[in-house]
Amino acid sequence: MLAVSVDHYENFPVASLLCPPRLRPAVAAIYWFARTADDIADEGDAPPGQRIADLADYRAQLNAVIGGSQASQRWASVFGPLQQAIRDHDFPPSLLHDLLSAFEQDVVKHDYVDRADLLDYCRRSANPVGRLLLHLYGVNDERSRAQSDAICTALQLINFWQDLSVDTLRGRLYVPQSDRTKHGVCAEGLLARKDDAPTRSMVAALVDWARTLMLSGTPLVHALPGRAGWELRLMVQGGLRILEKIEGLNCASIAARPRLRWYDAPIMLWRAICMRPAPPAMASKAT
């Protein structure tokens, strides 16, 4: 239902007024579990071997609390609340393990062969968050899960295209090799943040991909109850607005990172209010 790259969780609804108070502790527990694992994988100057070892310890702690054992002191502030959330809401453990596998991959893999390869990463790095939140709201049908996955993956992709200028400085290439080859863009050019016509054409195609995926999942906003539906509307509109910002830069996000500003909020809110279900004929064609 809801996801962005964990290292940019400013959009995660931890303290949102739209998140029902009874669910806020569980949502916060998911957030800190994911955020801490992401920090282990990404932050500081620890060598890759140490990061992998720490993530293995982190996974062992996850298995412990799932099994009912007390969390160790090392990450007690993470696994104590998470264990309570697991008890209260019966989270599927596989979703938490999928998140960890994506963070482990971040340590060792910084390039992707094709879109299927990247989508497999998104399946583990983004989609579990949405499915966990759907679980909290008691929405478990397959159509809603598929739409949630589409939105979550789209938000992850949008974050990648927004952060091209940042990720390439860190040696990370989330643009698949197949897309680079198709547009005549080499890895060395991206890593050097070369802003040229082929790169902009490639980014434009990636923006279209993310937008199409996002729109395929938007019927979910009308299926979720109350606050959850409004939370999701704003997330969808935030992602689409970032795509507009990238296009406003003439797709030169390799040179500058587009950002949402305060004046984007009323635009996103108005668009969220104006979201309408697809007409029955269109809805039947989409299924």
pLDDT tens digits for 121-172?
999 999 999 999 999 999 989 999 999 999 999 999 999 999 999 999 999 9
Place of tokens 């409004």: 230
Phi, psi torsion values for 119, nearest 5 degrees: -65, -30
Assess whether 222 and 133 both reside in one domain: yes
Contacts of 173 (CB under 8 A, 6+ apart): 110, 111, 112, 167, 187, 190, 191
Domain-embedded: residue 193 = yes
Assess whether 79 and 141 both reside in one domain: no
Phi, psi torsion values for 109, nearest 5 degrees: -125, 125
Mean pLDDT of 79-108: 95
Domain-embedded: residue 12 = no
Domain-embedded: residue 120 = yes
Nearest to 109 by CA among 44, 210, 188, 41: 41
CATH code assigned at 230: 1.10.600.10
Q: Using an 8 Å Cβ cutoff, are 272 and 233 in contact?
A: yes
Assess whether 57 and 149 both reside in one domain: no
The alpha carbon of 161 is separated from its chain's Cα centroid by a whole number of angstroms, namely: 12
DSSP label at residue 19: S
Assess whether 196 and 132 both reside in one domain: yes
Helix ranges (DSSP H) in 90-223:
93-108, 115-125, 127-136, 142-162, 164-167, 177-182, 187-191, 197-217, 220-223
pLDDT at residue 278, rounded to an integer: 60
Mean pLDDT of 106-112: 95
Domain-embedded: residue 1 = no
More confident residue, 123 or 2: 123
215-252 per-position pLDDT tens digit: 999 999 998 878 888 889 999 999 999 999 999 999 99
Assess whether 40 and 84 both reside in one domain: yes
Q: What is the DSSP string of 102-135?
A: HHHHHHH----SSHHHHHHHHHHHTHHHHHHHHH
Domain-embedded: residue 7 = no
Q: Which residues span the domain enclosing 91?
A: 17-108
Domain count, the chain: 2
Q: Per residue in 99-120, is it b (16+ CB within 10 Å) or e — as a string?
A: bbbbbbebbeeeebeebeebbe
Domain end: 108, 130, 161, which one? 108
Domain end: 108, 132, 154, which one? 108
Domain-embedded: residue 78 = yes
Assess whether 114 and 190 both reside in one domain: yes
Domain-embedded: residue 28 = yes
How far is it, in rounded angstroms, from Cα 234 to Cα 273?
9
Assess whether 244 and 117 both reside in one domain: yes
168-210 per-position pLDDT tens digit: 999 999 999 999 999 999 999 999 999 999 999 999 999 999 9
Assess whether 123 and 24 both reside in one domain: no
Contacts of 189 (CB under 8 A, 6+ apart): 196, 199
Assess whether 167 and 267 both reside in one domain: yes
Proportion of the chain above pLDDT 90, given as a percent: 80
Assess whether 46 and 158 both reside in one domain: no
Assess whether 124 and 238 both reside in one domain: yes
3-state SS of 218-275 is CCHHHHCCHHHHHHHHHHHHHHHHHHHHHHHCCCCCCCCCCCCCCCHHHHHHHHHHHC
Domain end: 88, 108, 128, which one? 108
Assess whether 269 and 147 both reside in one domain: yes
Domain-embedded: residue 227 = yes
